[in-house]
Amino acid sequence: MFKNIILAVLIAIVLTYSFGHLATQWLDLHLTFAEYDVEPISSILALTGVVAILVVVGFIIAFSIFAAIAFALIAAGIGIFVAGLSVFWPIILFTLVIFLLVKDKQTPAY
């Protein structure tokens, strides 16, 4: 699984670099900071960095959605267990009392 994540990030970086090159050549996209034009390679690297960060955020969101679904399922299971326990607690208590009264008492052997 970790190998697949690394491959996905590397593919995203390569695609971003390719699209960054297309953006600078075809769309005339240039980064400017404080009236200073950034070199094309630096702007492509910056765009690649931004997209890599967005890919990582996407993975975090995907895993957090999976974690939220798992948490909801676990919470629902606990809720159903507590609801069942709250419905049947008199029967469980009555059974426990009968079990404690009827069980064989073992005397310690000295």
Q: What is the pLDDT of residues 13-71, one digit of tens each?
A: 777 667 666 666 666 666 676 777 666 666 667 767 777 787 777 777 777 877 888 88
Residue 20 lies in a domain: yes
The per-residue pLDDT for 77 is 92
CA distance 31 to 44: 9
Task: Enumerate the β-bridge partners of residue 32.
Answer: 37
Structure pTM?
A: 0.41
Full residue range of the structural domain in which residue 36 is found: 2-73
Non-local (6+) Cβ contacts of 85 within 8 A are: 92
Residue 38 lies in a domain: yes
Residue 22 lies in a domain: yes
With contact defined as beta carbons under 8 Å apart, do 48 and 22 qualify?
Answer: no
The per-residue pLDDT for 25 is 67
CA distance 56 to 10: 11
Q: Into how many domains does the chain fold?
A: 1
Residue 68 lies in a domain: yes
